[in-house]
A = this chain, B = another copy of it.
């Protein structure tokens, strides 16, 4: 008899038939005696349809009105799911974000949750009702409708679970869990039973787009056990929790993440004087371009090379900015490369075990793959390589770290 928050994304509620399937699943949990709070997204395609209407009117829709518009998508789904549960003889009540109420700041289209009033939901749960909440939306102090930004329904679910001190927050999606790496690249990729919030954050931010990063941060912060499951097939999914000290067998590495979204820029032959890094990066961040990895080589002859990566969409703009900086600083040249990929191995076990990075470098070298940049954190090692080697690198590392095997069966 647990309190469970379930979240169903747009594909899971994309048609009336799928909404009925969700109702079946919710009803089953309820009949098993659990208290259930359901968070739903807009039916797939609906948010884009609404955004299309706005853009047919103006290229520059007002954020406040955008939120009024797109928040209707989830409102439709909550009503339909409530009706489907009523048809099954199940008590259920729908809530918009404002009705809950989910209080946010006033940053329209990217609002942040400030407080959740759990009284209405508690009263309904006590009466045996299923509570159905529109994801992705809230209301500010002045009563304006706000949205959390696209995909924000995950965040709504985790925030509700935290507010209600739920036993588990289940995110239903179109994959059946979190994998050691992308199964489309590595056939033997294995579903993880468990992963820590920290690892999941690294995996998510590195391109494994199963969950929204913000929702994982939120879950970690409030210690809400998070489970990723498929809404189309049965299975235990992947549980995302705090690191469990009692687990003897903490796997050394949990997964391999990668992305092709970045581009690399180098300002070569920069005079090596104090403050040069900030003089290079400030114009970039002033242009609202986010910098990911940064490497500055040891200088020689009082000159150094400065390399960093940005999102590939920002590549050309950054080149232009850097050309100006080159002139100002009297640097030698600007070198750009948007044919790169980032590959990372992630695992909390690295905290207490050395040698992961060197094994990774050795393996890549064996495959003849040149490492262009390296960046490390407590629980991950990332390298930048030429994009053409991406699949080769991921497969080689997946095999080298025996990630297709259960941690207990690995030879290291």
Q: Please list the residues of chain A having a beta carbon within 8 angstroms of any beta carbon in chain B.
A: 16, 19-20, 50, 53-54, 56-58, 60-62, 64-66, 68-69, 71-72, 75-76, 78-80, 82-84, 86-87, 93-94, 96, 98-99, 143-145
CB distance from A20 to the nearest CB of B (A): 7
Counting every copy of the chain, the complex holds 2
CB distance from A213 to the nearest CB of B (A): 28
Q: Give which listed residue, B50, B75, B87, B144, contacts A58 with CB less than 8 A.
A: B87
Query: Shortest 7 CB-CB distances between A and B: which pairs?
Result: A69-B79, A72-B72, A68-B79, A65-B79, A16-B56, A65-B82, A58-B87
| Interface of chain A: mostly helix, strand, loop or mixed | helix
- Check A54–B80 contact: CB distance below 8 A: yes
Q: Give which listed residue, B54, B56, B75, contacts A68 with CB less than 8 A.
A: B75
CB-CB nearest in chain B for A61: B83
**Which of chain B's residues have a CB closer than 8 A to the CB of A80?**
53-54, 57, 65, 69
Q: Give which listed residue, B16, B60, B93, B99, contacts A57 with CB less than 8 A.
A: B16
- Check B58–A86 contact: CB distance below 8 A: yes
A68, A71, A94: which has the most chain B beta carbons within 10 Å?
A68
> 23 A-B Cβ contacts within 8 A?
A16-B56, A16-B57, A19-B57, A50-B76, A54-B79, A54-B80, A54-B83, A57-B83, A57-B87, A61-B83, A62-B83, A62-B86, A64-B93, A64-B94, A65-B80, A65-B83, A65-B86, A65-B94, A66-B79, A72-B75, A75-B75, A98-B98, A99-B143
Q: How far is the CA of A99 from the CA of B67 in the complex (A)?
A: 14
Q: How far is the CA of A60 from the CA of B58 in the complex (A)?
A: 39
CB distance from A100 to the nearest CB of B (A): 10
Q: How far is the CA of A41 from the CA of B61 in the complex (A)?
A: 21
CB distance from A85 to the nearest CB of B (A): 9
CB-CB nearest in chain B for A98: B98
CB distance from A401 to the nearest CB of B (A): 48
**A68-B79, A72-B72 known; 19 other A-B pairs, CB under 8 Å?**
A20-B57, A50-B76, A53-B76, A54-B79, A54-B83, A58-B83, A62-B83, A64-B93, A64-B94, A65-B80, A65-B82, A65-B86, A65-B94, A66-B79, A68-B94, A68-B96, A69-B75, A98-B98, A99-B145
Q: How far is the CA of A76 from the CA of B42 in the complex (A)?
A: 14
A62, A87, A144: which has the most chain B beta carbons within 10 Å?
A62
Q: How far is the CA of A68 from the CA of B83 in the complex (A)?
A: 11
Q: How far is the CA of A87 from the CA of B55 in the complex (A)?
A: 11
CB distance from A122 to the nearest CB of B (A): 15
- Check B79–A16 contact: CB distance below 8 A: no
CB-CB nearest in chain B for A19: B57
**Which of chain B's residues have a CB closer than 8 A to the CB of A93?**
64
Q: How far is the CA of A279 from the CA of B367 in the complex (A)?
A: 97
CB distance from A62 to the nearest CB of B (A): 5
**Which of chain B's residues have a CB closer than 8 A to the CB of A99?**
143-145
CB-CB nearest in chain B for A66: B79
**Which of chain B's residues have a CB closer than 8 A to the CB of A87?**
57-58, 60
**Which of chain B's residues have a CB closer than 8 A to the CB of A82?**
62, 65, 68
- Check B69–A57 contact: CB distance below 8 A: no
**Which of chain B's residues have a CB closer than 8 A to the CB of A72?**
72, 75-76
**Which of chain B's residues have a CB closer than 8 A to the CB of A66?**
79, 83
CB distance from A267 to the nearest CB of B (A): 42
CB-CB nearest in chain B for A70: B79
